[in-house]
Amino acid sequence: MFRPQIKVLDCTVRDGGLINQWQFSDDFVRKVFIALTLAGVDYMEIGYKSSEKYFSRSENGSWKFCSEDDLKRIVGDMDNKMKLSAMADIGRIDYGDIPKKSDSVLDMIRVACYVKEVDKAISLAHHCMEKGYEATINLMAVSKVIEKDLDDALEDLSKSDVPVIYLVDSFGAMYSEQINFLAKKYFAALPGKGLGIHAHNNQQLAFANTIEGIVAGINHLDATIYGMGRGAGNCPLELLLSFLKNPKFDIRPVIEIIQEIFIPMKAKVEWGYHIPYMITGILNEHPRSGMKAMSAEKLPDLRQFYESLRDDTQLD
């Protein structure tokens, strides 16, 4: 599908860092940066913007913080048309941790929040915009939200100056019908704003749901190289770029880096579709229990895992 308005954001380092506490080498991040640039990707989300008051560098790699020194080690003096993004979670960063855009390598800051935090997210996004950045708000875990609460949050967002709002399937629980329904709801509630989609792959639907979002009119698309990301991972970038049929995209650098780096890495650090993640997805639950099961020396009895989690869900 060719639509020139579409923008692709790769969040391999940011979302992928959830599997190894962002302990990526500079060489890895630089190679990803170069591959994405050559592939024609519009944005690279290089990590989180987090406060060192709340997180320790002894436990987290550089890409949990994205300091200017960290960023400049990667970007250097390269002439780059691709824009750089970082994500800021509500409650994990202070306004003073965000420099003016004129002093930063970053172009955009995406603010991630839950429905109950939307007022704080709007305030932080406005603060970033006042400092010269592009900004979005990524509304997480909406598959668990009561519709009235979602409607109230969308009404607040409609009154904000934030130009792009993301529909996020945090638990990989949604089907195409839900993506379509929510995209229509978001568009109706947010006139004049752009929409984005960020899909997780618990049910192997991240790519399909991203396509459904495109069909519904969403133009800001998230993906990761080889689907790398927390737990079941994300929409694979190589599939998305191929589907879009835009001549500005070239999947060859992505294929090359997958063979060079990501296939060997996946043999050591696990991500992608597995039954524990599928179970959390179909039950619309946070993948933490699936991640715990996958990290154990031996997988639990999967039927028992499903029945226990299902029973807990029904009690909720």
**Three-state SS string across 229-286, please?**
CCCCCECEHHHHHHHHCCCCCCCHHHHHHHHHHHHHHHCCCCCCCCHHHHHHHHCCCC
Q: Are 191 and 115 found together in one domain?
A: yes
Q: Are 186 and 282 found together in one domain?
A: no
What pLDDT score does 2 carry? 80
Q: Are 226 and 176 found together in one domain?
A: yes
> What's the start-to-end Cα distance of the chain, in Å?
41
pLDDT tier, 76 (very low <50, low <70, confident <90, very high otherwise): confident
Q: Are 90 and 233 found together in one domain?
A: yes
Whether 203 shows a pLDDT value over 60: the answer reads: yes
DSSP letter (8 states) at residue 196: E
The total of structural domains in the chain comes to 2
Q: Are 222 and 309 found together in one domain?
A: no
Supply the mean pLDDT for the chain. 96
N residues, the chain: 316
Q: What is the three-class DSSP state of 220?
A: strand
Q: Are 165 and 97 found together in one domain?
A: yes
Residue 45 forms part of a structural domain: yes
Two tokens, residue 214: 């495109």
**Between 269 and 316, the higher pLDDT residue:** 269
Q: Are 13 and 75 in contact (CB under 8 A)?
A: no
What pLDDT score does 316 carry? 57
Residue 1 forms part of a structural domain: no
Residue 257 forms part of a structural domain: yes
Residue 2 forms part of a structural domain: no
Q: What is the three-class DSSP state of 199?
A: strand
Q: Write the Ramachandran bin of 22: left for phi over 0, alpha for psi from -120 to 50, otherwise beta.
A: left
Q: Are 153 and 167 in contact (CB under 8 A)?
A: no
Q: Are 281 and 225 found together in one domain?
A: no
Q: Are 247 and 294 found together in one domain?
A: no
Average pLDDT over residues 156-161: 98
Q: Are 168 and 191 found together in one domain?
A: yes
Q: Are 301 and 251 found together in one domain?
A: no
Q: Are 132 and 236 found together in one domain?
A: yes
Whether 1 shows a pLDDT value over 90: the answer reads: no
Whether 79 shows a pLDDT value over 80: the answer reads: no
Whether 56 shows a pLDDT value over 60: the answer reads: yes
Whether 77 shows a pLDDT value over 90: the answer reads: no
Please give the backbone phi and psi of residue 200, each rounded to the nearest 5 degrees, phi first.
-105, 160
Cβ contacts of 108 within 8 Å, gap of 6 or more: 43, 83, 84, 85, 86, 133, 134, 135, 136
Among residues 245, 266, 287, the one where a domain terminates is 266
Whether 312 shows a pLDDT value over 90: the answer reads: no
| Burial class of residue 100, CB neighbours in 10 A (0-12, 13-18, 19+) | exposed
Q: Are 226 and 35 in contact (CB under 8 A)?
A: no
What pLDDT score does 200 carry? 98
Q: Are 311 and 282 found together in one domain?
A: yes
Q: 303 is in which domain, residue-wise?
A: 275-315
143 vs 126: CA distance, rounded Å: 26
